Amino acid sequence: MLTAVWTILIFCTIIFIHELGHFIAAKSVGVTVHEFSIGMGPKLFSRTKGETAYSVRLLPLGGFVRLEGEDDDSESDGALCNKKPWQKFVVLFAGGFMNFVLGFLVFIFLAANTYLTSNIIGAVTDGFSMQEQGFAEGDKIVAMEANGKSHRISSYNDIMLFNLTNPGADADITVVRNGGKITKHVSLKADESGRKIYGFSPKILPNTPLNVIKAAYDNSVYMTKMVGISLWWLITGKVPVTEVSGPVGIVSEINTAVSETGGFEGLLRALSLAGLISINLGVMNLLPLPALDGGRIVFVIAEKILGHRVSPGKEGLVHFIGFAILMAFMLFITFSDIRKLFG
């Protein structure tokens, strides 16, 4: 029961914030909003104020803002199709942008209630390469290089990202000490559990307002990069499609966070998952694919370049085909999630 409540709360909040972004942007540029709905399917509740009907529908796994002239031609001055390209862009971009804002706010709360790691060395481990190469407490890691590619380091998240994209690789690590830079080659070595490490732990920073905001920003950037890397791995075949999680897989993760951990720690894990889902939705929705906001933005850019709007019929057909493919993909992912649960 608790898992169901958390799942509905997380999904509804993320969807509400996304649609709120479209709603506020549409109102700000004079687009008529006919309906603001949370949920899909039959209406459970509806109230009209001004030109807009605010409704709650039966299925809590979706939502929409119905705009005048969004898909069809309209003579109304309040129609989206009659607005300037930059105004259309603002309306379409606002939903995904608000998901990034929500993720950032969630990470602020998390940063205020957890340990804040940094790219400053807090301690080096005896017998490991970091100690052997002379690195010491207080050194600030600013760059790591492996496989001929250098990575700028400005947070502990950057170090984790480096390890993720360079698994099992030794590295040339650059630190700042007393205003000067030192670069040394560091080798991985297995610890008692068999995990290969460089042999250092990060310095923990105090939860000051400035540190909390910086940590929230770093986490937002890290999650965004993670989504991008995951997409690239999926496209290149490094990660199979069956590893992608849909609604069923997400519910399973929420259940793990809430039921197995419990208490305040369970809340933090659930919120961390919510922040990741929100940013993931923001990135995915802005991809230049038909039926998504990013796909619609492509047509707005084309309109700006061509000097006239692309035929609504042709655009509608492209989005319809894209939507059908998206639904087929979601069904495949859902089936895959169910197989994982019972396989």
Q: Annotated active-site positions, please?
A: 19
Cα separation, 282 vs 98, whole angstroms: 8
Cα separation, 97 vs 20, whole angstroms: 11
Structure tokens at 57: 């529908």
- How many CA atoms lie within 13 Å of 203's alpha carbon, on the beta-carbon side? 15
User: Alpha-carbon Rg of the chain, whole angstroms?
Assistant: 24
Backbone angles phi, psi at 156, to 5 degrees: -65, -30
Cα separation, 68 vs 242, whole angstroms: 39
Helix/strand/coil (H/E/C) assignment for every residue in the chain: CHHHHHHHHHHHHHHHHHHHHHHHHHHHCCCCEEEEEEEEEEEEEEEEECCEEEEEEEEEEEEEEEECCCCCCCCCCCCHHHCCHHHHHHHHHHHHHHHHHHHHHHHHHHHHCCCECCCEEEEECCCCHHHHCCCCCCCEEEEEEECCEEEECCCHHHHHHHHHHCCCCCEEEEEEECCEEEEEEECCEECCCCCEECCEEECCECCCHHHHHHHHHHHHHHHHHHHHHHHHHHHHCCCCHHHCCCHHHHHHHHHHHHHHHCHHHHHHHHHHHHHHHHHHHHHHHCCCCCCCHHHHHHHHHHHHHHCCCCCHHHHHHHHHHHHHHHHHHHHHHHHHHHHHHHC
Q: How far is CA 215 from the centre of its chain?
A: 16
